[in-house]
Amino acid sequence: MSIIMQLIISGIAMGFIYALVGIEYTLIWNASGVLNFSHDKLITLGAYIFGGTYILALKMGFVQGILLSLLTVAIVGVIIARTIFIPLRNLTMIYTIMATVMLGKIIVEGIRLFWGPVPFSVPGFLVGTVKIGKVVISRANIAIIITAFICVCALQLFLYKTKPGKAMRCVAQNRNAAQLMGIDVKTVMVTTVAISMIICCLIGVLVSPLLNISTTMSNMIGLKGFAAGVIGGFGYLPGAIIGGLVIGIVENFASMIFPSVYKDIAAFVLLVAFLLIRPKGITGKTR
């Protein structure tokens, strides 16, 4: 029984990670109509900035390190938006997609040159476990669930209750009309990419206790986050959360039935099944 509880909780934790990836992905898709294929590399970049530079090299405290990392990636996000998403926004999507794929390559090579090719971990960051009754939960999982939950709620409030948030939704729903309301589409795009980058960095920081920090650390997370978006209903934020949780829990239970090396297959079988049977996703909504 306690094993099942443990599987559910770690499933939820991973599910929230996938949900955050799905959301980060979805935000940019909504604002600029472009799939950002460099997003998993941006997660990696966030982890390196946090672990490699602020914690290990500069010996900062964790809280300070996280805050500075978020600020740093937000600036990187503004630069990326200004150099890629905005100049290419009126061209066919394939150009921007190619640009984001290349951006991903540039980031990975840049990381290899700057931080070196050897994977490492951040000692002492969110290690250990907490025992609640008979259930043992790792601190990392608790941190993931709490942070992701706050992040999702904050984002939801921002998008539905504030003026800049509503402007972002306007741009997502009808870019032309948004322009006619006097909404500065470029500013909205910059803000969106910056927010999306902050979420990427947060994901990178949160998974760093679970995975070694390496250039390939986020490949799987990136793909499964995309799957989360599709399964939940692409472009619809609550959908990404539902999709993420479904994948997280399903793959953890799959590891109970099949050898755990086959765990990753579960998410993708689910993705293909959804594409074939219900391409609109569980919620059937978009945006």
Partner 1 sequence: MLEIRNIDAYYGKVQVLSNVSLEVGKDEIISLIGANGAGKSTLMKTVMGLLRPKKGSVIFQGEDITKIKNTKIVSRGIVYVPEGREVFPEMSVRDNLEMGAYCRKFSSREMKTHLEDMYEIFPKLGERQKQLAGSLSGGEQQMLAICRGLMSDPKLIMFDEPSLGLAPVIVEDMFRVIVKINQIKKIPVLLVEQNAYMALSISHRCYVMANGMIRLSGRSEEMLEESDVKKTYLGG
Q: Which of 82, 139, 280, 287 forms a contact with partner 1 (CB under 8 A)?
A: 287
What x-and-dash track marks residues 219-238 binding partner 1 by CB under 8 A?
Answer: --------------------
Q: Which of 64, 83, 179, 260 forms a contact with partner 1 (CB under 8 A)?
A: 179
Task: Using the minimum distance from each CB to partner 1, give the nearer residue, 170 or 282.
Answer: 170
Work out the angle between the directed axes of helices 185-207 and 62-80 (0-180°, nearest 10): 140
- Please tell me whether residue 163 binds partner 1 under the rule CB under 8 A: yes
- Please tell me whether residue 131 binds partner 1 under the rule CB under 8 A: no
3-state secondary structure of 138: strand
# binding residues, partner 1 (CB under 8 A): 17
Q: Which of 166, 212, 219, 263 forms a contact with partner 1 (CB under 8 A)?
A: 166
What DSSP string describes 66-107?
Answer: HHHHHHHHHHHHHHHIIIIITTTTTS-HHHHHHHHHHHHHHH
C-beta of 185: minimal distance to partner 1 in Å? 9
- Please tell me whether residue 176 binds partner 1 under the rule CB under 8 A: yes
Q: Which of 181, 256, 273, 275 forms a contact with partner 1 (CB under 8 A)?
A: 181
What number of helices (H) and strands (E) belong to the chain?
Answer: 11, 2
Residue 13 near residue 210, CB atoms below 8 Å: no
- Please tell me whether residue 92 binds partner 1 under the rule CB under 8 A: no
Q: Which residues bind partner 1 (CB under 8 A)?
A: 163, 166-167, 169-170, 173-174, 176-184, 287
